[in-house]
Structures are given as structure tokens and as C-alpha cells.
Amino acid sequence: MHSLITQYALEGRTDGKPNGHFYMTKDLIEKATDEVVGTHYKYDGDKKNQKVHEAITELWPKYDQLNEGFIEVSRAAVFLRNALGNVVTSIGLQ
């Protein structure tokens, strides 16, 4: 969550002043998804681009149901977990 807020999210404003509410646009979600897919799947190039495109195309409309063009950063974390699907990790247990 810290990474999403510090690297990707935009802070909302009230009366021209930051209000502590953070949001992500579709473009920002796409950048974060690109990083996460590259990190967790170790994909690059066309394979990574295809996975990111599929995730954005499938999931964005479900998260931005009102077509506002942004979602709250807390929902972005869930978006990214859904974009990854079932990533199996190995921690040395047999």
C-alpha cells in the first residue's frame, strides 16, 4: 500500500489543499500492474504487455463501475491481487 501511495497514487484536494485521500486513474493502475506482473511473474516484453492489457481490459470496468476515471487507492491493492490471479510462490517447503 505504501508503494501504491508514494509511487502511483494522486492525492485528492479540498479547497485546493491536499486532503489525505488517494486515488488512481486507469493509466496509473496500468503502470502499477506492469510493475507487479514483471515482479511476480518475471514476464517482460510482449508477454508482460499482453498480461497487463488483459488485466486492465477485464478488471478496470469492474472497479470503476461509475466510469469516473479513478478508484480509491485501497481498491487498487485488491485490483492488483486480482490481476495476478493464482501466483504460486515457493518458500523452500517440499
Condensed to tens digits (0 to 9), the pLDDT of residues 7-39 reads: 999 999 999 999 999 999 999 999 999 999 999
What is the average per-residue pLDDT within 2-11? Answer: 95
Residue 58's SS3 state is: helix
C-alpha cell at 88: 504460486
> What residues does each domain of the chain span?
2-84
d(CA 34, CA 16): 31
- The type of residue at 49 is N
List, in sequence order, the alpha helices (H) in the chain.
2-3, 26-41, 45-63, 73-84
Pairwise pLDDT comparison (93 vs 70), residue with the higher score:
70
**Is CATH 1.10.238 what the domain over 2-84 is classified as, yes or no?**
yes
The torsion angles phi and psi of 53, rounded to 5 degrees, stand at -60, -45
Structure pTM? 0.85
Burial of 67 (0-12, 13-18, 19+ CB in 10 A): exposed
